[in-house]
């Protein structure tokens, strides 16, 4: 009797439609105006149904945060494997990270900013660990290749990630002027210093 299976499938479909509707709403009106009732309207169910699939609104957001990191990770790996030279790899990763942030502004805003996730949230996202690992391993390769034992890879990971995030978030709260040239230069400026510094 495939009844149970069909029910599970149908339940999954509703869950998927919730996420899809939520995503469309976010793209149209931003995170701030996303509401359970609007999602319910969009999927043509009543609001409480959503709580059969997600514990609360935050769980929906968390799901998107996870997806955001998954997609980011994909992009970073795709960028990395184009090169064998770790210096080129870290540069490609930086550009991919940058591109992801501005191509997926909604994701990026949710993943970081937006109400400062806080400790609890971070722990619920294993994808963040994979993300860190991608960069960490590349940095270690550079250090190994250049026989630089004095630099701490944890330190360099932190500097790399922080700087990138800082560049992006400062830029996002500015306006949409065509500061693209400046942005590109700032990114390059940082990368030159970072890579030369990491070589020891």
Partner DNA sequence: TATAATTTCTAACAGCGTTAGCAAATGTAG
Partner DNA sequence: CTACATTTGCTAACGCTGTTAGAAATTATA
Segment near a second copy (CB under 8 A); pick from 11-19, 38-46, 85-93, 109-117: 109-117
Q: What are 58's two structure tokens? A: 């935050």
Q: What are 179's two structure tokens? A: 């500061």
Q: Which residues from 8-37 bind a second copy, rule CB under 8 A?
A: 32
Residue 49 lies near DNA (rule: CB under 7 A): yes
Minimum distance, C-beta of residue 37 to DNA, in the bound complex (Å): 4
User: CA–CA separation, 153 vs 138, rounded Å?
Assistant: 10
Report H helices in 85-146.
86-103, 105-111, 118-123, 127-145
Q: x/- contact string, 17-36, with DNA (CB under 7 A)?
A: ----------------xxxx
Residue bearing tokens 């509401």: 35
Percentages of the chain per state (helix, strand, coil), in multiples of 5:
80, 0, 20
Residue bearing tokens 């400046």: 182
Q: Which residues from 180-199 bind a second copy, rule CB under 8 A?
A: 182, 185-186, 189-190, 192-194, 197
Nearer to a second copy, 18 or 91 (CB): 91
Q: Which residues from 96-135 bind DNA, rule CB under 7 A?
A: none
How would you classify residue 44: left for phi > 0, otherwise alpha for psi between -120 and 50, otherwise beta?
Answer: left
Q: Which residues bind a second copy (CB under 8 A)?
A: 32, 109, 112-119, 122, 152, 154-156, 158-159, 161-167, 169-176, 182, 185-186, 189-190, 192-194, 197
């Amino acid at each position: 009797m495939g009844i149970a299976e069909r029910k599970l499938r149908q339940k999954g479909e509703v869950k998927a439609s919730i996420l899809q509707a939520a995503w469309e709403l976010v793209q149209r009106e931003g995170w701030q105006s996303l509401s359970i009732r609007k999602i319910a309207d969009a999927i043509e169910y009543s609001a409480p149904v959503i709580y059969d699939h997600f514990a609360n609104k935050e769980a929906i957001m968390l799901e998107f945060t996870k997806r955001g990191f998954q997609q980011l990770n994909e992009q970073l790996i795709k960028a990395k494997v184009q090169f064998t030279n770790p210096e080129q790899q870290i540069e490609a990763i930086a550009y991919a990270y940058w591109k992801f942030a501005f191509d997926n502004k909604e994701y990026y805003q949710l993943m970081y900013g937006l109400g400062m996730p806080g400790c609890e949230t971070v722990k619920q996202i294993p994808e963040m660990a994979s993300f860190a690992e991608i960069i960490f391993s590349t940095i270690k390769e550079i250090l190994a290749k250049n026989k630089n034992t004095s630099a701490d890879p944890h330190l360099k990971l932190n500097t790399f990630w922080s700087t990138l995030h800082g560049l992006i978030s400062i830029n996002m709260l500015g306006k949409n002027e065509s500061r693209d040239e400046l942005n590109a230069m700032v990114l390059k400026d940082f990368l030159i210093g970072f890579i030369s510094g990491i070589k020891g």
